[in-house]
Structure 1
């Protein structure tokens, strides 16, 4: 193998993709080529960082599902004849599809380990990301609205909230901070006050002391927004006194 050919094998060597003979020949070259030795070190460090970046803990049921599927996997037949001897460079080219498949398999294992429901998970993640992006865009537009009105109040029991409302957009949002944690059986609920009647306007997602949420419905015709603590899932009418009532 020429020296020029050897210089092109740093990536394959760093990933352990060379055969025994090729690896031995390349290692002999490494001993007298500082440039290739440095490149191999850098490629290995990069591969390690990439592996750590995508590593996830495989699902607990992964091994059971894989073992259960093995009996239905057709096995490859034994080789009937010896493979023809191929020059080293040609062997590397012939192995490229297998190396690519092995790399894809390694990436799949690192990213979650042969999850059989990966397509469903990916779909849910895409939907969740799209909804989050829409909410963020709506909040940004609301905050920048020329007629946006801001009203802040302290909540009984701790925390504070700021109501942002736009008559033109027909939309409002609550920005909150320092909310005390609730038990799983309770949730913060929002209400529009319309002529003394409290109309449900959404729930604050549990698990965070601070954040922002868009209210459902329009603030048009409302004189205030209330915050209460309700049973998990919310209520059709407040079950207790509001922690705060912010003007619209």
Structure 2
């Protein structure tokens, strides 16, 4: 009872508006979630911040997807465990633990969770393969990771703003920072195009219409940071263009969001 009361008192002392990051990352316990969501229902500013951070967390999670380890990697790890010499014991060995030898525990850990494409995983692969497997094979999303870093910077900028528009089958949200001269577009429900077409992004403003890159789509959520520099007041547009894009739009925009 004392421990529960202490936990409740400690929770009451926490300002829920400071927990938006933890909430977005799923780091709150059940009681904290309940208290935070009660706070969200009453405070629009905190609700907006939590939504923005949740979007960022989702996109950063998508930036580096889990990588299924090849069977050869598992075999290499097991071979290394078998081949690694053990230091001589200075005392009689203790009776074996019920948990089993290290190899058994290693096999259990391998089966219980996937290898994720993080720096530590790349280092392990590079070490075990001895140069036979290039670590960059695990990281086939460097450009996407760079995009995620840029998106996080835009979202964290002191002047960061966002605006959403409804589409026929989803929503498009523009996030931008005039201070960084940068923007990102998040679109839900954008259908894939035939192989000879691409969605092209545009900055539309006083200095004219400038291409801002190609946007891929698969019918679910897609996003990207726009290429080039955004100018204050630019409208961000999306058109359907021939594969590879055009120097200027050849069709009417299917998405147009003002940043003024």
Normalising by structure 2, what TM-score? 0.50
Q: CA separation in 1, counterparts of 2:192 and 2:140?
A: 28
| Counterpart among 139, 150, 156 of residue 138 in structure 1 | 150
Which secondary structure state, in structure 1, belongs to the residue aligned with residue 223 of structure 2? Answer: strand
Superposed CA RMSD: 3.9
Match runs of 1:1-248 below 5 Å:
35-36=95-96, 38-39=98-99, 41=100, 43-52=102-111, 53=114, 108=129, 118-119=133-134, 122-123=135-136, 125=138, 128-129=141-142, 131-155=143-167, 157-195=168-206, 197-207=208-218, 209-220=220-231, 223-248=234-259
Residue 140 of structure 1: how far off its partner (Å): 1.6
CA distance in 1, matches of 2:216, 2:104: 41
Mapped contact 1:148–1:165 kept (Cα < 8 A): yes
The residue aligned with 1:60 is none
Q: Is 1:171–1:219's contact at 8 Å kept on the other side of the alignment?
A: yes
Residues 227 and 243 in structure 1, CA contact (< 8 A), matched pair in contact too: yes
* Aligned partners of 2:165 and 2:173 also within 8 Å: yes
Query: Which of these two proteins has the greater Rg computed from alpha carbons?
Result: 1
Deviation string, structure 1 residues 101-133 (Cα, Å, up to 9, x no partner): xxx9xx65xxxxx96xx33xx24655844x444
The whole-number CA distance in structure 2 between the counterparts of 1:208 and 1:16 is 47
Give the CA deviation at 1:197.
Answer: 4.0
* Aligned CA distance change for structure 1 residues 246 and 179 (closer, same or farther; 3 Å): same
- What's the offset of the Cα at 1:211? 3.5
**Are 2:184 and 2:225, in contact at CA under 8 Å, matched by a contact in 1?**
yes
Task: Quote the residue 2:36 is aligned against.
Answer: none
SS in 2 for 1:135: helix
State the distance in 1 between where 2:145 and 2:103 align.
36
**Secondary structure, in 3 states, of the residue corresponding to 2:98?**
helix
Aligned 8 A contact 2:175 2:184 in 1 = yes
